């Protein structure tokens, strides 16, 4: 049976890279039935819809969501990010953001292969806080970080499960020396889960130290688990040390499968290069490979990853064509 995919191309280069990703999925012989959803900044400017409850209910009927990128300079920052991307992550309970990194860090010689598991529904992203006396010298703004035992525990459990299929090592990244309340909750959840996986080795790094290791010694990592904001920042760095953000893929997963999971490149909508053919579709193609893993099509996903591993250059569609020609199998 065909996998039913909701496609949100979005803004800027989003639709361009998503088209290449679907081209490659089809070339790999996977049967997909796609439905386009016109969402993003452009849609919002046209009729005010960001993501209505009706549209969200429709999305729930699909096996997966493939997203390009959202955001346009004409809409103030936060509106589309919170109203569309974060709303999907929260409402569909996409509590794991899985971001793999394979490459050789600039200046390095030894290749690395690690995965960041970013908690995807909590931390400062929940929007807790507020502002008082805005625009005056007495202005006060607070932005709280929400950390629940359940949220940390399930992210850690996913990381340990993943490590069991890999090199059996998980590193917790946090800032326990300063964020003592949240850090302590994370540490205890991490160790409670670790007790269920005696074969898995563990480590802890402060997030600032992890930034140095990402650049100087990324081979030390297998699976990293961290909170939402640290994970956001670290995964841009992960992209930068693994061939660039044009290769960085991600899966927003609901591992309990109570709703569709969503797959998107780490990069944004890059409105400055829209229509130029300069966008590298590889991150979107690798995100589609993560989608195929989740749909039980791992053989096709592996072929796509192998096809992407050999460097390709060219325009957006040329890269898509070359990778598509390599996966036919
Ligand atoms: C990402 C992005 C988003 C995030 C933004 C666009 C809200 O940077 O997926 O990493 O911060 O999570
Ligand atoms: Mn980010």
Q: Compute the radius of gyration of the chain from its Cα atoms.
A: 20
Q: Are 189 and 181 in contact (CB under 8 A)?
A: no
pLDDT tens, residue by residue, 11-33:
999 999 999 999 999 999 999 99
**Residue in 11, 158, 175, 222 annotated catalytic:** 175
Adjacent-strand bridge partners of 294: none
Annotated catalytic, 208? yes
Q: What is the dihedral of CA 28, 33, 38, 39, to 10 degrees?
A: -70
Question: At residue 87, does pLDDT exceed 70?
Answer: yes
Q: In the 8-state DSSP scheme, what is residue 259? A: S
Give the Å distance between the CA of 251 and the centre of ligand 1: 12
Give pLDDT tens digits for 98-150: 999 999 998 888 999 999 999 999 999 999 999 999 999 999 999 999 999 99
pLDDT at 256 over 80: yes
The strand order across the sheet containing 261-265 reads 32-36, 3-10, 64-69, 261-265, 249-253, 96-103, 112-119, 223-226, 169-174, 201-206
- The dihedral built from the CA positions of residue 203, 96, 122 and 135, taken in this order, carries a sign that is positive
Residue 98: per-residue pLDDT? 98
Report the nearest-CA residue for atom 12 of ligand 1. Answer: 232
31 assigned to active site: no
User: Which tokens sit at 115?
Assistant: 């995965």
308 alpha carbon to ligand 2 midpoint, in Å? 22
Q: Give the tens place of pLDDT for each residue, 187-205.
A: 999 999 999 999 999 999 9
Q: Is 147 within 8 Å of 123 (Cβ atoms)? A: yes
3-state secondary structure of 33: strand
What's the confidence (pLDDT) of residue 144?
97
Q: Token digits for 127?
A: 């929007």
Strand pairing category for 201-206 and 169-174: parallel
Among 232, 233, 245, residue to substitute to test ligand 1 (most atoms within 8 Å of Cβ): 232
Token pair belonging to 186: 């994370």
Mutate to test the pocket of ligand 1, among 67, 85, 97, 123 (most ligand atoms within 8 A of CB): 85
DSSP state string for 212-226: HHHHH-GGG-SEEEE
SS3 state at 41: helix
33 vs 77, residue with greater confidence = 33
Q: What torsion do the CA atoms of 152, 153, 154, 160 make, to the nearest 10 degrees?
A: 110
The kind and range of the H/E element at 117 are strand 112-119
- Nearest atom, ligand 1, residue 268 CA: 6
CA nearest to 63, candidates 291, 299, 302? 291
Binding pocket residue ranges, ligand 1, CB within 6 Å: 81, 85, 232, 266
- pLDDT tens profile 151-183: 999 999 999 999 999 999 999 999 999 999 999
pTM value > 0.85: yes
Classify burial at 136, counting beta carbons within 10 Å of its beta carbon; exposed 0-12, middle 13-18, buried 19 or more: exposed
Owner of token pair 């006396």: 133
pLDDT tens by residue, 295-318: 999 999 999 999 998 878 899 999
């Amino acid at each position: 049976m065909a996998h039913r995919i909701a496609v949100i191309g979005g803004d800027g280069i989003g639709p361009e890279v998503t088209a290449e990703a679907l081209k490659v999925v089809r070339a790999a012989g996977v049967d997909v039935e796609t439905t386009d959803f016109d969402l993003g900044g452009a849609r919002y400017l046209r009729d005010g819809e960001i993501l209505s409850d009706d549209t969200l209910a429709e999305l729930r009927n699909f096996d997966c969501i493939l997203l390009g990128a959202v955001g346009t300079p004409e809409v103030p920052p936060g509106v589309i990010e919170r109203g569309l991307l974060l709303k999907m992550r929260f409402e569909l309970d996409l509590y794991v953001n899985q971001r793999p990194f394979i490459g050789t860090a600039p200046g390095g010689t030894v290749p690395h292969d690690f995965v960041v598991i970013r908690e995807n529904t909590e931390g400062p992203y929940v929007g807790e806080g507020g502002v008082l006396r805005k625009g005056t010298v007495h202005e006060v703004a607070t932005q709280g970080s929400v950390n629940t035992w359940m949220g940390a525990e399930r992210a850690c459990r996913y990381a340990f499960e993943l490590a069991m299929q890999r090199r059996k090592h998980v590193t917790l990244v946090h800032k326990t020396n300063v964020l003592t309340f949240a850090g302590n909750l994370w540490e205890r959840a991490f160790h409670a889960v670790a007790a269920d996986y005696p074969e898995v080795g563990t480590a802890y790094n402060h997030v600032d130290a992890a930034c140095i290791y990402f650049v100087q010694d990324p081979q030390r990592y297998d699976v990293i688990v961290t909170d939402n904001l640290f994970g956001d920042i670290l995964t841009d760095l992960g992209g930068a040390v693994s061939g660039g953000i044009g290769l960085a893929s991600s899966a927003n997963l609901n591992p309990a499968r109570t709703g569709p999971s969503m797959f998107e490149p780490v990069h944004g909508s890059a409105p400055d290069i829209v229509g130029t053919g300069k966008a590298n579709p590889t991150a979107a193609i690798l995100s589609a490979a993560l989608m195929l893993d989740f749909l039980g099509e791992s053989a096709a996903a592996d072929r796509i990853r192998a096809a992407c591993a050999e460097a390709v250059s060219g325009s957006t569609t040329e890269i898509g064509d070359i990778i598509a020609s390599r996966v036919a199998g």
